[in-house]
């Protein structure tokens, strides 16, 4: 297939590599400078910051190609194009890290069966996990992804800050981090929960809270209360 990809960020970089590995002919354009005339092929993938998708797609109004964005949170209808769709790869992409794209779940949306067929055909060359979901379901999925990935990584980062003070490398935590992730392959997170908050070990909770300051202390407090509440409901 011939595919135009607009954008040079994390998602764009990884998607371009995946398209090329799958043997597609690709044209990569910059979001700021491209013109509609530069577009080649049947599908245009818009990989720009969520806030600028509509504005970039405005310049694609006249193309006959299927225009898709890659965002979890932006509805299909944000694209002011004749043929429109979504190809949302749910993964955390950094430029400095290789990702095995065949393992990335990709969620598709299109307005008609013909365009969906085209998207399924394209996505199936990139990954083994292709699923159709609508805009409302996708925005929930994206929120879940922010919680299970971005917030999780920030918990790692707050832990790294705590370890700075006692000369232990971050890698000390890796066996624990790995087991925490592996565990939810077998148990639901509710059953997998351990630690002072779920045991309601109030002395430990209070001692740990005062080791933190400012916003981290607030986060610690709210997370501990929330863990306790989730388990009180059982």
Residue 118 Cβ vs its own copies, minimum distance, rounded to whole Å: 24
CB of 64 to its own copies, least distance (A): 30
Of 116 and 212, the one with the shorter C-beta distance to its own copies is 212
Q: Which long-range contacts (CB under 8 A, 24 or more apart) does 140-143 make?
A: 141/72, 141/88, 141/90, 141/107, 142/71, 142/72, 142/73, 142/88, 142/90
Quick one: 113 or 166, whose CB is closer to its own copies? 166
The CB-of-77 to its own copies minimum distance in angstroms stands at 14
Helix (H, G, I), strand (E, B), or coil: what is residue 126? coil
Closest separation in Å from C-beta 165 to its own copies: 6
Number of Cα atoms under 13 Å in the Cβ half of residue 158? 16
Looking at beta carbons only, is 15 or 197 nearer to its own copies?
A: 197
Q: Between residues 116 and 198, which has the closer beta carbon with respect to its own copies? A: 198
Q: Return the percent helix, strand and coil in the chain, to nearest 5.
A: 50, 15, 35
**Nearest distance from C-beta of residue 27 to its own copies, angstroms:** 25
How far is Cα 205 from Cα 95, in angstroms, rounded to an integer?
Answer: 38
Q: Which residue stretches of the chain are H helix?
A: 10-21, 53-58, 113-124, 135-145, 152-164, 174-183, 189-192, 196-199, 202-209, 214-232
Residue with Cβ nearer its own copies (80 or 105): 105
CA 187 to CA 125: how far, in whole Å?
A: 32
Rg from Cα positions in the chain: 22
Distances (CA, A) of 66 to 4, 36, 86, 122, 223: 10, 13, 10, 12, 44
Q: How far is the CB of 3 from its own copies (least distance, A)?
A: 23
Q: Which is nearer to its own copies, 66 or 74 (CB)?
A: 74
């Amino acid at each position: 297939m011939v595919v135009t990809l607009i954008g040079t960020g994390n998602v764009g970089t990884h998607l371009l590599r995946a398209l090329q590995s799958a043997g597609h002919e690709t044209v990569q354009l910059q979001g700021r400078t491209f013109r509609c005339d530069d577009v080649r092929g049947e599908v245009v993938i818009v990989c720009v910051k969520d806030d600028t998708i509509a504005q970039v797609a405005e310049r694609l109004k006249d193309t006959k190609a299927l225009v898709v964005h890659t965002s979890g949170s932006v509805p299909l209808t944000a694209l002011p194009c004749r043929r429109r769709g979504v190809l949302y790869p749910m993964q955390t992409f950094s430029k400095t890290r290789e990702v095995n794209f065949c393992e990335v779940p990709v969620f598709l949306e299109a307005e008609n069966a013909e365009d969906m067929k085209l998207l399924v055909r394209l996505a199936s060359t990139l990954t083994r996990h292709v699923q159709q979901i609508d805009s409302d379901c996708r925005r929930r999925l994206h929120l879940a992804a922010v919680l299970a990935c971005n917030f999780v990584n920030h918990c790692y980062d707050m832990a790294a800050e705590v370890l700075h003070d006692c000369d232990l490398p971050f890698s000390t935590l890796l066996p624990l981090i790995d087991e925490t992730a592996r565990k939810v392959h077998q148990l639901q997170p509710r059953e997998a929960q351990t630690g002072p908050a779920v045991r309601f070990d109030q002395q430990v909770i209070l001692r740990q809270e005062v080791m933190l300051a400012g916003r981290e202390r607030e986060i610690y407090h709210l997370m501990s209360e929330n863990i306790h509440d989730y388990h009180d409901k059982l």
